[in-house]
Structure 1
Amino acid sequence: MSEPIHVVCPHCAAVNRLSGAKIEDAPQCGQCKRPLFVGEPLELTAANFERHIARNDLPVVVDFWAPWCGPCRMMAPTFAQAARELEPRIRLAKLNTEQEQQLAARFNIRSIPTLAIFFQGREIARQSGALDLGTLKRWLQPHLYRP
């Protein structure tokens, strides 16, 4: 039996405790009863950022982007495909730097797109610039959750 882990619900932000071995079994939120993994990037805001970054025992990859950014828009389908392929071993999320300028400043985001991997509240890796799917998956591979 693997150690229990905490996973924040993408719908209601409740923190769920479940067996790490069961994350592949389509777990549901204990509070809202919706799926904990939906295979698409989670939209982060100032209101939910801390909870998803600090309370998840899964690595969380944040795509710092803006709607006016051409490379950001080009990479969006790749990032969504990575979410479909890599969840539930990692959570992928997006943060609009135009709407959340204070968070972008807090993390010293100087160019976009910038990807940052957070684990248990701390930033552990960062990559600037648009990536193709293969490069993105290779960069994320060492950080995937393994029960």
Structure 2
Amino acid sequence: MSEYLVVCSSCGGVNRLPGDRRATDAKCGKCGSKLFSGHPHNIDGSVFDRHINRTTLPVLVDVWAPWCGPCLAMAPAYEAAAQQLEPEVVLLKLNSDDEEEVSARLGIRSIPTMILFQGGQEIARMSGAMPAGQIVKWVRERLAPAAA
């Protein structure tokens, strides 16, 4: 891909990134925040919708809640997965308590739930906590057919 679009998780600005530049160095043209930090970004509902509809890279969303033991146990693994998957995949965290409408729209029935989106469409979903290596493997296996 010669260029791609990435939504800034801080301000919601849409950024056009040339494919021949290092994405890890990219900063938002609107607010100056790093677009890829090796850490998942906590987002609200409006930025979630913008990411899904405008980001042309795959987007992995961890739907979680602060009272959920398995969610808290998986948080370090999701963080480690971000370091391995970025900048090829955008990793986001959506608090289901704060974003009840989005969680309902997504049909979240248990947490943690990870949903992988590509081209604005859900392509895979997995509920339950996983270690970092399993998260990375799960994502790469689901994206492999698209790359072939």
Which TM-score applies when normalising by structure 2?
0.89
Q: Following superposition of structure 1 onto structure 2, how do residues 62-73 of structure 1 map, counting pairs within 5 Å?
A: 62-73=61-72
Aligned residue for 2:74, secondary structure, equals helix
* Whole-angstrom CA distance in 2 between matches of 1:115 and 1:101: 16
Q: Following superposition of structure 1 onto structure 2, how do residues 88-127 of structure 1 map, counting pairs within 5 Å?
A: 88-127=87-126
Distance 1:85 1:101, change over 3 A: same
> Offset at 1:25?
5.0
> Offset at 1:34?
2.7
| Greater percentage in helix | 2
Moved over 3 A (4+): none
Aligned residue for 2:52, secondary structure, equals helix
Check the 8 A contact 1:61/1:92 in 2, yes or no. yes
* Whole-angstrom CA distance in 2 between matches of 1:139 and 1:22: 27
2:51 alignment partner in structure 1 = 52
Check the 8 A contact 2:9/2:41 in 1, yes or no. yes
Number of aligned residue pairs:
145
- Which structure 1 residue ranges, 5 or more long, are not aligned? none
- Which structure 2 residue ranges, 5 or more long, are not aligned? none
Identity of aligned residues (%): 46
Distance 1:67 1:34, change over 3 A: closer
* Whole-angstrom CA distance in 2 between matches of 1:77 and 1:25: 21
Q: Following superposition of structure 1 onto structure 2, how do residues 25-40 of structure 1 map, counting pairs within 5 Å?
A: 26-40=25-39
Q: How large is the Cα RMSD of the aligned pairs?
A: 1.8
* Whole-angstrom CA distance in 1 between matches of 2:122 and 2:25: 27
The answer to which of 89-98 and 24-33 deviates more is 24-33
